[in-house]
């Protein structure tokens, strides 16, 4: 059996494939509740991930002709990124479990050899209490690193810390 | 949605992927998580993924010229297949491509290497695989360039690739290298892949069959994306 090709860093010059419109998942005319997700990524020194590439994927609502489900944004010099998208709903989980609404996020940059994967959930969402992925994290402080918080009208914000105090929960699968 | 579209992908083969912390590559030092990654079951979020269409993401298959004006450098054709770990072709999948010019300079504001820019070379490409997983594009061979990882550090010639495949779990960012490059032995990014065979699969093969007479040198490079788990019956 062939083995999957090795990952290599996206490097500092990935902006050659950057298209700012990719950060707007509503650009093909998607219907639904439009929201903004903002974020800020910092490294182990607290420095912004100024050359980072952030990707978002959501399996809800189902991707199709008018909704790509996928977005890409550059982190700016302050490590900040922004997506415009449609608010996701709950999704089926393992067995009979239901997953709380969430985004999957990939963080790629110089110094990151294989993308780092995490999730953003909506703070205060009742389904978070029984979400099968969040339930794998025993420490409430660690679980809190996956929460986006309200940050203005229809806007949610999440901080992503690559390393050190408050380090974000990153996942493998 | 059919059952097969949500079948989990196979586990990652030990040694085939680089670690997050690789001291020889200095930039990993402050950019790797220190806590263990959380192992999660693959849900519909991981087993499904975006679909890219040629209509919404137009192809750019010839990077070797802009508006009919030729870029400087050694013209190349890169051709190969995208397969999964079950040996099946991955059809209609998008491959994004970016690279430095022949002098080793990226058309990027943050690249300050003292080498010339080429007005006829942007360094971005985008292709889709056909029904049998084949792709092909034309470009020029990228040059080597210095970087500040260690004293007198130079990156080997390489082309960057971005692939999505059928699910979020198959996302791949990688680099393709060229055969016979003496800088490979000295490059920490190449050497971050622990398994030697896995590392060497990142090196394209010169291919006289792909080479176009009086036109361009040909290289063969295949990608393998994670494959879905199969039942004993299917095998």
pLDDT for B232: 57
Decide: helix, strand or coil at residue A137: coil
pLDDT of residue A95: 85
- CA B1 from centroid of its chain's CA atoms: 30
Residue B208 belongs to what domain range? 3-11+50-225
List pLDDT tens digits, range B128-160: 999 999 999 999 999 999 999 999 999 999 999
B28: in domain: no
Q: Is residue A171 part of a domain?
A: no
Residue located via tokens 């080498």: B115
Average pLDDT for consecutive 10-residue bins of chain A (173 residues)?
A: 96 97 98 98 98 98 97 98 98 93 98 98 98 98 98 97 98 98
* Separation between Cα atoms, residue A136 and residue A134, nearest integer Å: 5
Would A32 be classed as within a structural domain? yes
Rounded Cα distance, A25 and A27, in Å = 6
Residue ranges with strand state E in chain A: 34-42, 53-57, 70-74, 80-86, 91-92, 98-99, 102-108, 116-122, 147-150, 155-161, 171-172
How many structural domains compose chain A?
1
Alpha carbons A120 and A139: distance in angstroms, whole number: 17
Q: Rg of chain A's alpha carbons, rounded to an integer?
A: 16
> Residue B24: inside a domain, yes or no?
no
pLDDT digits (tens, 9 = 90+) for B104-126: 999 999 999 999 999 999 999 99
Neighbours of B77 (CB within 10 A): 20
Contacts with B, A 94-113, CB within 8 Å = 94, 99, 102, 104, 106, 108-113
Among chain A residues, CA nearest to B97: A17
* CATH number of A40's domain: 2.60.130.10
Give CA–CA dist A144/A1, Å, rounded.
Answer: 40
In a domain, B91, yes or no: yes
Tell me the shortest Cα–Cα distance from B213 to chain A, in angstroms.
30
| Portion of chain B with pLDDT greater than 70, in percent | 97
Q: Report yes or no on B26 lying in a domain.
A: no
Structure-block tokens of residue B39: 């192992």
B108 flagged as catalytic: no
Q: Which of residues 10-49 of A touch B (CB under 8 A)?
A: 10-17, 28, 43-45, 47, 49
B88 pLDDT band, cuts 50/70/90, is very high
**What's the token pair of residue A19?**
């298209």
pLDDT at B201: 98
Residue A2 located in a structural domain: no
State the pLDDT at residue B230: 87
Considering the candidates B75, B105, B158, B199, report the single residue annotated as catalytic.
Answer: B158
pLDDT over 50 at B3, yes or no: no
Flag whether A163 is in a domain: no
For residue B206, the domain's CATH number is: 2.60.130.10
**pLDDT, average across residues B221-235:** 84
Domain that holds residue A80: 14-154
pLDDT of residue B2: 43
Domain assignment present for residue A67? The answer is yes
Position B233 pLDDT exceeds 80: no
Give the count of alpha carbons within 13 A of A149, CB side only. 6
User: Is A3 within the bounds of a domain?
Assistant: no
Nearest by CB to A163, which of B31, B126, B169?
B31
Q: What is the pLDDT of residues B166-192, one digit of tens each?
A: 999 999 999 999 999 999 999 999 999
Segment B74-82 shows an average pLDDT of 98
Q: How many domains would you assign to chain B?
A: 1
């Amino acid at each position: 059996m062939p083995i999957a090709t090795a990952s290599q860093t996206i490097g500092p010059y990935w902006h050659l494939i950057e298209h700012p419109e990719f950060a707007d998942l509503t650009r093909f005319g998607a219907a639904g509740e439009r929201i903004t997700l903002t974020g800020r990524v910092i490294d182990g020194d607290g420095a912004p991930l100024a050359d980072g590439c952030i990707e978002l994927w959501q399996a809800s609502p189902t991707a199709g002709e008018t909704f790509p489900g996928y977005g890409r944004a550059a982190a700016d010099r302050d490590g900040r990124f922004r997506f415009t998208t449609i608010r996701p709903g709950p999704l089926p989980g393992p067995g009979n479990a239901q997953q709380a609404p969430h985004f999957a996020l990939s963080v790629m940059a110089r110094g990151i050899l294989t993308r780092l994967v995490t999730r953003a959930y909506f703070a205060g969402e009742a389904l978070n209490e029984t979400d099968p992925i969040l339930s794998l994290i025993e420490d409430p402080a660690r679980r809190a690193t996956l929460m986006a918080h309200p940050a203005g009208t229809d806007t949610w914000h999440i901080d992503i810390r690559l390393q050190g105090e408050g380090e974000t929960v990153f996942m493998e699968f | 949605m059919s059952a097969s579209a949500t079948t989990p992908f196979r586990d990652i083969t030990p040694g085939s992927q680089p670690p997050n912390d690789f001291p020889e590559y200095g930039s990993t030092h402050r950019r790797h998580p220190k806590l263990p990654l959380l192992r999660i079951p693959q849900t519909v979020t991981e087993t499904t993924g975006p679909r890219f269409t040629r209509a919404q993401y137009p192809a750019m298959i010839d990077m070797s010229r802009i508006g009919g004006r030729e870029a400087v450098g050694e013209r190349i054709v890169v051709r190969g297949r995208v397969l999964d770990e079950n040996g099946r072709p991955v059809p209609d999948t998008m491959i994004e491509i970016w690279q430095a010019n022949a002098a080793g300079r990226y058309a990027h504001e943050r690249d300050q290497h003292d080498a010339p820019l080429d007005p006829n070379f942007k360094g971005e490409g985008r292709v889709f695989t056909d029904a049998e997983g084949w792709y092909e594009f034309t470009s020029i061979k990228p040059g080597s360039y210095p970087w500040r990882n260690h004293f007198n550090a130079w990156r080997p010639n390489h082309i960057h690739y971005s692939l999505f495949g059928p699910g979020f779990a198959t996302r791949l960012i990688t680099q393709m290298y060229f055969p016979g490059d003496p800088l490979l032995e000295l490059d920490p990014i190449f050497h971050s892949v622990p398994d030697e065979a896995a590392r060497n699969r990142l090196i394209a093969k010169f291919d006289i069959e792909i080479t176009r007479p009086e036109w361009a040198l040909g290289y063969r490079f295949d990608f393998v994306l994670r494959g879905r788990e199969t039942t004993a019956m299917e095998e």
